[in-house]
Every structure is written in structure tokens, then in C-alpha cells.
A and B are shown apart, each in its own frame.
Chain A
Amino acid sequence: MLQLTDIEKQYRSGDPSPDFTLSVPELTVGRGEFFALLGPSGCGKTTLLKVVAGLIPAEGGRVWFDGREWTDLPPEKRGFGMVFQEPLLFPHMTVKENVAFGLKMRGWGKKKRELRAGEWLDSVGLDGLESRLPSELSGGQQQRVSLARAMAIQPRVLLMDEPFSALDPQLREKMRVLLKQLHQEHQMTILFVTHDREEAFYLADRIGILTEGRLLQADRPRNLYEKPSHPEVARFLGLRNVIAGRMEQSRFHSAEIQLPMEGARPGKGWLVLYPECFRLNPSKSDSSTIPFRVTIREVIFRTGYYSIQAEVGNLALNIRERPTLKPPRPGEQRTAFYPVSKLHWIPEEKGGE
């Protein structure tokens, strides 16, 4: 089990106040777990991964593995594997030599390591290319070799730093499938860094959302989406209906809307409305749904649904509707119904803004 406690890392550009601070009070990755660190570019994901690998020293905090402190252990002694954004294969070594590199550093004999390298090249679908040089491979093949190189050493933790971001979408999809299959087969502990929501949700058992150096929430993908504990988490997951307001006497109040909500903690906070839960033409409307009188502003057909921009007064709402519906026209006034059970309240003291 990998554990991080009170990790602090600061970057300065001259003046004493730091330009960027990475602060992770606690993060645990269980044995065999696939954990994805999800966040926008420049949020500190790669820095955190390099702190875990031992390639960057943290200014504060500790790194533990299976109950032993590894904070000051050099990277070459940690037994981790890593796949970088670029394949970073050694250009003078053949594919097989690259895959066997980590085994060679561990003192494995030539025959044994070549056998193991061959097995992993089979696993990533590159059998027959053993004696090629990296320059003779495509980008996707190179990244497969990089994956095989990391997996061949059977690392205690496999660290992956946006490994598929340089590949084209089709290839990225194939690599995701391959990685998921390999994880299921070998049950490796994986810490995966990405800015791609879809990728994180497809692959990970748990996801941690990191923005501006802070780990905002770590949870299972569905919980994260359905119960974000921070407005930034909701926004990063693509939810645009995050409305600041106040909860008083089981009612939500904002400048534009007021609506009932039982059981929510009173005080300031944010209401999250899921775009896919709105219905413009419901089969039934009763007390379990809340009507919103909206003006349609924009209707765009996306892959498999209509993305509708609507307004309630000055409040912009994002609605997602099935394509079976005859789409509304911009300027039209419609009633959108939202189920009460799908209202999600983030109290300020929890959200921390």
C-alpha cells in the first residue's frame, strides 16, 4: 500500500513567496488498486508523481510503502516502474533490450531477462518486433514498448504520467483497453496521471481530483460524479450548473432561483444540477420534479445527445437531452423538469471556497 502524508512542494521564481505550492495532506493507494490523479495542466500531477518516484524531493511530508518510510529512498531502490508522456526508449537498444533494461539493472541473467521481455512483448502485442530499434517503430508501438518495459520488472507501483496523451484518439482508445486488460490480469498497483476525464473514468478504481496543487477529493468514479464535495470538482468533471447560494429552512436561495431541498445543511454553498437529469418533455411531472421556466439560447447536437444552453433570468443552465426529442429552437420558452432526488448540495465549510 502506498501512502502519502502532508506532502508539500513549492516552486519559486526569484521572490520569496512561492509561485506554485503542491499540498497533499493525505493520499492512499491500496494494493492492486488503479488510482488516477485527474487535473488540468499545471496543477501539480506530474510533480506529485515524481515525488512518489523519488525523482523530486518534497519539502515536507512523507512517502510510505507497506508501512515503511521511503521518503529519502533513492528512486533506483524503490522498485517502481514508470511510463512517461513520451516513450523515452533508449535509441541504441533494440525493443527487447529496452524491455529488459530494468531486469538487467536488477542483475537478471541474459537468458532469463530475454525470456521475460519476450513474454511482455507478447502481452502488449509486439511479438516479432524484438530486434527492431525504437526509430523503426510507430509512436503507438514505442509507447507499448515503454509499457512493457515498466511492467516487465513487476513494479511495486506502476507510475504513469499521461502516457497516452501524445497518441491519436483511436490509438489512445486501444491503449486504454490494453492497459485495463493488463491491470485486470496482473492486479498491479497503478498511480496514473491524466487530464482526460474520460480516460480516468474508464480506467480507474478511484480518482483523485487535483487543481492548483491541492487534492480536492479522492473517491470512486461514480461517487465523485454524483457527490462532488467541492464546486471545483464538479466544474472539472464538466458540470456547468454549479450555482452559488444559501440554504435556509430547507430551501435553496440564489439571486435567480429558489427551490425546496430537504435534509441539506443550512448555510452558504453550491447547488449542483446535472444536465442529463433535466427533461424538457417528461412523461409525467409531479411533486418529485421541479419545473424551471427556461428560455432556449443554443441547441447543438453532440455525439448521441443535444447540448442545450438555456436561461432562467440571468442564470445559464446546461441541459442534455436525448436525440429522440424534436429539438427546441433558440428563443423558445420551455419548461424543464428536474428530479428533486438528483439535487446535490455542497456546503461551503465542506467545499472550502
Chain B
Amino acid sequence: MWQRSKPYLLIAPATGAMLLLFVGGLWEGVLQSLGYRPLVGQSRLTLQFYETLLSSADFWRSLGLTLRVSILSTLAGGVLGLMISVCLVMLAGAGPFKHSRFWRHVFQLPLLIPHFVAAYLAVVMMIQTGWIPRLMFALGFLDQPADFPVLVQDRFGWGIVLTYAWKEAPFIAWMLYPVLYRTQEKWWEVARVFGSGRWAYFREILLPLLLPAWMTASFIVFAFTFSAFEVPYLLGVTYPQMLPVWSFEMYTGGDLTKRPAALAVNVLLAGMAVFFGWLAHRTGRRFGLLEGGRWE
């Protein structure tokens, strides 16, 4: 009896703390977004804040920007990550081990840097008086540093996309690396003998094996960029703001009446993240994109 219940008892404290903080926080957020605030005498549940949000043009503009930035960041990070993981496997196979280790550290570097530091670096590097414009000016690529395109605090969100791509690509690469590492060099020989060129090998063998891990990693990046706050807060414009920034500013703006709306934005963000996760999984299954995951 003790042996059977021991594992559950051992994880009970951690599970309890997680349930209390995570589920409790979520529950509290949902209740407040429904207008339940007994401290200020409001205990009646209402969908008023959701209705106001969904009928506001600002919300839809922010949602459009949030989706655009998240999708572009995920795509850029995904493609870069795939390229990095292929490079890492090629380096591990071809060169001496120390070189491979050096490049692994280079590609790991962005993982060690916190998001707000990455955003600050992006400002320092890419603002029109930053390092990159000044270096390009010094090398003669620009007539003056101000000719450098506006990539920081631009309306489209390029600065945010580029920062996320740089920051998340190694994460995707390290999710793909073990899968690629397991693919055998001999499969390439087999495929060639049976008539496959490089592209067909990538399409028929490598890609199906990578897709499940790639989709999972990309979805994690999407869910994160969709709801993260630091990078768009530092690199975004004041209008339109990405939804997490908008929510943060409403919550901390000092006007307590806006707090339920701020939490309603968060609940909608969480709900949409779950919906996109379900959609990605369903699409993956529908088109057989997850078949590579059957690999044991």
C-alpha cells in the first residue's frame, strides 16, 4: 500500500503548490474578468467586460498585431532553428569535436540571455543611432546612420519579430537536434541507391521525422510570443500595442475599473493559445504531419 502511494505522496507538495498558485491564479483571474471583486462590493458575475473588449476596435487592432508578430516570429524562429540544427549535426559529423562544441556554445548563447536583455540588446544594436547602423555607416554601406530602416519601435513590429527569431531559434534548434542526431548517415546511402536526390531525401525522410518535434517546438514559441510581455513592451509602439502589453498597462494604470478588462484580455489570450494548440494538433493529424513521431 505504502509502496503504491509513495510516488503520489512524494509529488504531492509540488503538485499542491502548483495547483494553488497556477490553477488558483487562473481561477482568480477568470473571476475578476467576470467582474467578481467583493472588496469593492461587486460580487455579481457579468460578461460586460468581454462584450466591451470584443466590440472595441482597439482590441481587434491589438489582436491583429499580436497575431502578426507571433506568426512571423514563429516562422522565422522555426526556419532559423531548423537550419541551425542541421548545421550542428553537420558540424558534429564532419569536424573535430572541439569545433562542434564551440559552435554548439555559439548557438546556445541566446538561450542564456533573458528576454528583456535581448530586447535591450536589440535597441542598442538596431536603433538608428545603434551599433549596426553606425558600423554599416563606418564601412560605407550607408551614407548616414539614419538611412538604416526603422526596426525598433516600428508600427509593423519588425524589431520584435527579429528579436524573437534570434532568441527562439536556438530553442527550436535544440528541440530538433536530438531527432536529427538519431537519423543515420546510412539512410542517406539507402535513399540514394533507391533513386532519391538530396531534396527528395529531405522531403521524404528528414522532414517527416522532424515535423512532430518542429511543430511542438514552434507551437511553444507561438504560445510564448503570443502572450509574452517584455520584448513588445520595450520594442513596440504606443499604439497599437500587443495584447499582453495592453493588458499590463490597463492593469497597472492606476484605474481600478480597468482591471477586469485587463484580466479579460489575459483570459482571451489563454483561451486563444489553447485553441491554436488544438488547431495545430488537429491539422497535424489530418495531414499526417505527426507520423514521424511514431519513430521509436
Q: Which residues of A contact B (CB under 8 A)?
A: 50, 53-55, 74-82, 84, 86, 88, 90-92, 101-102, 104-106, 133, 135, 149, 153, 159
Contact = CB atoms under 8 A, between A and B. Distances in A.
Nearest to A91: B295
Given A88-B187, A92-B294, A104-B204, 9 more contacts: A50-B189, A74-B192, A75-B189, A82-B194, A90-B204, A92-B209, A92-B291, A92-B292, A153-B195
Interface in B164-200: 184, 186-187, 189-197, 200
Contact of A105 (B195, B208, B294, B295): B195
26 contacts: A54-B192, A55-B192, A76-B193, A76-B195, A76-B196, A76-B197, A78-B193, A79-B195, A80-B193, A81-B193, A82-B194, A84-B189, A88-B186, A90-B187, A90-B204, A92-B208, A92-B209, A92-B291, A92-B292, A92-B294, A102-B194, A105-B191, A105-B196, A106-B195, A133-B294, A153-B195
B220 interface: no
Nearest to A106: B195
B125 interface: no
A91 B186 CA distance: 13
B190 A84 contact: yes
Contacts of A81: 193-194
Interface residues of B, number: 22
A53 to B, nearest CB: 6
Contacts of B195: 76-77, 79, 102, 105-106, 153
A82 B292 contact: no
A88 B205 CA distance: 12
Interface centre among B191, B194, B197, B205 (most CB of A within 10 A): B194
Nearest to B295: A91
A86 B292 CA distance: 21
Contact of A86 (B186, B194, B291): B186
Contacts of A74: 192
Nearest to B290: A92
Prevailing SS type, chain B contact patch: helix
Contacts of A88: 184, 186-187, 190
A55 B200 contact: no
B246 to A, nearest CB: 43
Nearest to B193: A82
A75 B192 contact: yes
Contact of B189 (A55, A104, A135): A55
B255 interface: no
A17 to B, nearest CB: 24
A92 B179 CA distance: 12
A43 to B, nearest CB: 20
Nearest to B188: A55
Contacts of A133: 294, 296
Contacts of B190: 82, 84, 88, 90
B85 to A, nearest CB: 17
A135 B194 CA distance: 21
Contacts of A55: 189, 192-193
A55 B188 CA distance: 10
Give the top 5 A-B pairs by smallest Cβ distance, nearest first.
A105-B195, A102-B194, A91-B295, A135-B296, A92-B292
B186 A76 contact: no
A158 to B, nearest CB: 10
Contacts of B205: 90
Nearest to A89: B190
Interface in B254-274: none
Contacts of A50: 189
Nearest to B291: A92
B295 A149 contact: no
A78 B189 CA distance: 13
B200 to A, nearest CB: 6
